[in-house]
Amino acid sequence: MRVAVTGGGGFLGSYLCEALLRRGDAVVCLDNFSTGQPKNIAHLWEFPAFEFIHADVSVAADVPGPIDAVAHLASPASPPDYLRLPLQTLAVGSRGTENALELARRNNARFLLASTSEVYGDPLVHPQDEEYWGNVNPVGPRSVYDEAKRYAEAVSLAYRRSLGVDVGIIRIFNTYGPRMRLHDGRVVTSFIAQALSGKPLTIYGDGKQTRSFCYVSDLIRGLIAMLDSSEAGPFNLGNPEEWTVSDLAQLVLEITGSDSEIQYHPLPTDDPVRRRPIITRAHEHLGWIPEVRVADGVCRTVEWFRSRAYDDGPLVTVADPEV
């Protein structure tokens, strides 16, 4: 296939581009690097089938020549990013999704929407399956991301119902791994950055709130399975193993060997208290389940960060992990 990947310079987008190229597909990566990074895709230029277009898809998503699929991953994803870029986040979720859908429609191509567990908001139902409509504050600070993705789902299925576009939607739960920005504000990388630099690990709330952490390689397998299918979804993609934030902090301290203390701060507005996906649909329709244990994935992520230099300063080397 020839696949257009919007947001292909981001954390997940770059992995998707790489996985498609390695299996023999051609890839057109579109990104304006508002939150992605050129270094994420620097190694992909060795593939003759890789193309890059510098583009803001909320303005236009134009790809010359025929394409077989569009994977729409473009969007700020971490709270610091979408709170810093609220209008851009709303634009890429609305106009950007519409432009990507039009690209798919013109080419009679498969369209994959990367949605999010944030459509469930601070859920009143636990665990969450795809039938749950969510508990989202439409005017809260997080709404710029939550509602952008909810609109993206609505317009995508409208294109499927009204225009026959081959749309598939997946809802991504917390995903982590190498190639994330060290200070992007999500909990796994925040804890790793703080532990490796000897700073206190900051927990917001009492630490009993839960998340479900999916390693990046597992998530990418799910994206490709959905891209290759004709399923509409939405399907949850995430690790159904539920972790408290406090337990994650202790795991990071154990893996890094850090003696950082833990500090507690007030819980941010509308921050979800519990998150755990039911993945029955993804298992039944895509044959997908996550395989990487959280301890193993965090260990890989720590080692990746240890092995690299960063623009925001060197890391303090601490004891080797014993897991």
Q: Which residues are catalytic?
A: 145
CA R_g for the chain: 19
Residue 198 region, left (φ>0) first, then alpha (ψ -120 to 50), else beta? left
Task: Note whether 135 and 120 are within 8 A (CB).
Answer: yes
Q: Report which secondary-structure segment, H or E, holds 3.
A: strand 2-6
Q: For residues 270 and 121, give the distance between their C-alpha atoms in angstroms, rounded to a whole number.
A: 8
Backbone angles phi, psi at 134, to 5 degrees: 100, 170
- Looking at residue 58, the DSSP 8-state letter turns out to be T
Please state whether the peptide bond connecting residue 266 to the residue before it is cis, i.e. omega within 30 degrees of 0.
no
Give helix 187-196 / helix 294-306 axis angle, nearest 10°.
50
Task: Note whether 8 and 16 are within 8 A (CB).
Answer: yes
The per-residue b/e assignment along 72-98, b for 16 or more CB within 10 angstroms, e otherwise, is bbbbbbbbebbbebeebbbbbbbbbbb
Collapse the DSSP code of 71 into the 3-class scheme (helix H, G, I; strand E, B; otherwise coil) and give the result.
Answer: strand
Q: What is the DSSP string of 8-37?
A: TTSHHHHHHHHHHHHTT-EEEEEE--SSS-
